[in-house]
A and B are shown apart, each in its own frame.
Chain A
C-alpha cells in the first residue's frame, strides 16, 4: 500500500511540476470557459429574464393568441417581456444593446395567418378564441351558424403571402435571440393548432347547415378535413428540454464550464496514460521493474496517480469556475460523477498506452480521440442539438457521459437521478481497463 502511494504521489508531483501540464489541465479550460461563456451568453451568466420588447401592430386578435405563449411559468422566467408602442424608440434600445430583441407583429398578421377566422370576427363580431370546441358552437344562434358556414365556403383558407414576424435582434445576444425565436416559433405552432381546432368545428357546423339546406357538402368544403379534424399534437416543438422541473434553466456558461473541464480532463489523463511509455523512454520503467515491487503494483500505482491528478484537476476547475458563477450541481453528485469520469477517462488513457508503441504515438492518438470525442459529445455546442444517432454513438466515450451527467446535475437533478448513468460510466470503465490489461500483458511479456 505504501508503495502504491509512493508511485501515485510521484505521478501527481510530476504532473503539477510540469508547466505544460498545468496549462493544459487548469489554465486553458478556465480561460476557455470564461471566453466562450462570455461570448455566447451576452455577458449574462445564466439564461433568465432575457429582456425582450413586444410591438403589436396587428389589427386582428391572432397576435393576442401568440402572446399567450409568454404567459407560461417557464417562459415567464426565461423572458422579461415588455409591451411597447413606439417602434423607433424600441429599435433604438436594441441598437444600444439594452435589450436582446424587439418582436414586431405586422398589422396584417391576423388577416394573413387566418383569413376565415378574421372574416367571421369582422362580419359577425365573434371572439374566435372562445370558439375552439363544439360546446362553444352550440351557444351560437342558427343564423350565426349559417353565416359562418357561408363565410367558410366563400373565404380562402390561406393567403398567397405569409405573415412576417420581425425579430429585430442585437448581435451581442445571440443565444438569447435564438431562445426568443424558438419561443415565438412554438407560439405559432400552438396558434396553428388552435386555428385548426376552430376550423374543424366551424367546418362541421357549415357541413351541418348546408346539409340541412340540401346542398352537397363536399363541394363546399375547402382543404382536407380529415387532417384538420385530427391535429397532430405530437408535432408540437419540445422546448422543455432546456428547462428543468426544478426551475433551473439551461445555462450556456454552466454547460461550458463542465464541458471544458471534461475535455481537458481527457487531455490530461490521456497524457498521463502515456507516461508509462514515457517511463520506458526515460529508462525508469526497467528500473521500476527490477525494484522489489510486483509489476502489477507498479501499474496500479501509476494509474492511481493519474486518477488522483485528474480528480485534483476537476476539483480545482469546479472551485475556480464556481467562483465566477458557474453551477455544477449537487456537490455529492458532482464528486461522485467526477470520480467515475476520471476513472473512465484514465481507462481510455490506459487503453491507448497499452496498445501504442511509443509515447509520441500514444500522444497523437490521445489528442485525436479527445478532440473527435469532444465534437461528437457536444463539448462545443449543446449536446441536445446533436442528431440522436450521434448522441448515442458518442456514448462510447467518457466525454459524452460526462456532459450528460453534469447537464442533469446542473438542471437540478439529484444523486438518485444520475446513479444509472454512473453505473454506465463504471461499466464502460471496466471495458476500457479490460482491453488495456490485455495490451499491458502483451507489452510486459
Chain B
C-alpha cells in the first residue's frame, strides 16, 4: 500500500525560470526505505520540501497517507517527521530542552514526552550530554540530535535530507544503523543522498534524480540491469591532471561504452574490463601518464548514473 503518492510534481521558483522539479511521479510504499539519489542541485531537497508541506508545488499533486499536502497540510504534518539537511537546533538550549521543545511543538507532553526524550537520547548515545547546551556539541553529536528531533512522536513517514553530510564516520554509522532499526520497527523512510554507498546499503527502492527529473526508479538489482553486462574499469593516475585527455582518447576505443575523468582517475564503462585494460594502459603511456592502480567493479549505482546521464554522480 502506498503511503506517499507523487503525481506529475513540478516546482518552479520563478514564473519564467527552469523547473527545479520536473514532472516527478512515484510512490513510496508503507514500510519501505526509499532513497532519492542524485548530485547536488538535482532537486532532492525541493521534492522533500513539497512532500513536507514547506513548499507549494507549481503543478502536480502529493498525498501522504491519503491526505493532500496542499489541502490538508496539518494532517500531513501530524504524520511526518523531517530531518533537514542543515542543522535545525537551538544552540543555547540543552539537548533535552531541544527535544522537549520540538516534542511539544508536535503536540507531545507529559510522561509520553519524558519517556521519548530519554529513549531518543539513549539511542543517539547522548544521555550523558542531555543537560549540556548544544553549542558545546561536536558536529556529529549535533547531527545525531538533529535526527532524534525528527523522530519524535514516531511519525509514520520519516524524511531524511542528506543527514550524513560532513560528519565523522562514527556518527554516520550511528545514523545509518538507526535508520535501518526504525524501519524494522515499521517506519517508512524517504532518504535523500548523493552517496551511492548509502543508497545501496539502506534502500528497498531507489529513485535517481538529475536536473529535477526522475530518470530511473527501482530496486538496486532492477537499476543495475539497466546497464546490462557492462563492467566498470577505474584507472587511478599518478598525475592529478591529464585524466580528461585520456578519457577522451579511450572513449573512442572499441568496447568502451562510456569514459569520464575526475580527481586523478578515469572511469570507463566497458563491455569487458579484461579486453579494455591493455589498450587503456598503452594509451596512458602514450600520453605520458602512469597508472597507479587498476580497479574492476561490477555494475553499481555509479555505473547506472553514468550510463543514464553520461556523467559521474560526483560531477
Contact = CB atoms under 8 A, between A and B. Distances in A.
A293 interface: yes
B90 A290 contact: no
A287 B93 contact: no
B53 interface: yes
B84 interface: yes
A392 interface: no
Given A290-B80, A292-B77, A292-B78, A284 B90 contact: yes
B87 interface: yes
A234 interface: no
B92 A283 contact: no
B82 interface: yes
B93 A14 contact: yes
A442 interface: no
B312 interface: no
The secondary structure that dominates the A interface is: helix
Interface stretch (B29-37, B101-109, B162-170, B222-230): B101-109
B114 to A, nearest CB: 15
A357 interface: no
B176 interface: no
Interface stretch (A2-10, A107-115, A125-133): A2-10
B193 interface: no
Contacts of A287: 82, 84, 88, 102, 149
A293 B74 CA distance: 7
A291 B105 contact: yes
A2 B109 contact: yes
A427 interface: no
Contact of B93 (A2, A3, A10, A294): A10
B109 A283 contact: no
Given A18-B92, A292-B77, A283 B86 contact: yes
A216 interface: no
B88 A6 contact: no
Given A2-B109, A6-B104, A290 B77 contact: yes
A290 B53 contact: yes
A3 B149 CA distance: 17
Contact of B84 (A2, A3, A286, A294): A286
Contacts, number: 63
Interface in B96-137: 97, 101-102, 104-107, 109
Interface residues of B, number: 27
A296 interface: no
A239 interface: no
A282 interface: yes
A16 to B, nearest CB: 10
A281 B90 CA distance: 11
B87 A14 contact: no
B203 interface: no
B78 A284 contact: no
A98 interface: no
Interface string A288-301: 11111110000000
B102 A291 contact: yes
Contacts of B24: none
A17 B92 contact: yes
A48 B186 CA distance: 78
Contacts of B287: none
Contact of B88 (A14, A284, A293): A284
A288 B52 CA distance: 12
Contact of A288 (B80, B86, B91, B105): B105
Contact of B87 (A2, A18, A283): A283
Interface in B49-104: 49, 52-54, 74, 77-78, 80, 82, 84, 86-93, 97, 101-102, 104
Contacts of A294: 74
A13 interface: yes
Interface of B: 49, 52-54, 74, 77-78, 80, 82, 84, 86-93, 97, 101-102, 104-107, 109, 149
The 10 closest A-B pairs by CB, nearest first: A283-B88, A287-B88, A283-B86, A292-B77, A291-B105, A6-B104, A292-B78, A17-B92, A290-B52, A284-B88
26 contacts: A2-B109, A3-B105, A6-B104, A6-B105, A7-B105, A10-B90, A10-B93, A282-B90, A284-B89, A287-B84, A287-B88, A287-B102, A288-B105, A290-B54, A290-B77, A290-B80, A290-B82, A291-B77, A291-B102, A291-B106, A292-B77, A292-B105, A292-B107, A293-B77, A293-B105, A294-B74
Interface of A: 2-3, 6-7, 10, 13-14, 17-18, 282-284, 286-294
Given A287-B149, A293-B77, 7 more contacts: A13-B93, A13-B97, A14-B90, A284-B88, A290-B53, A290-B80, A291-B102
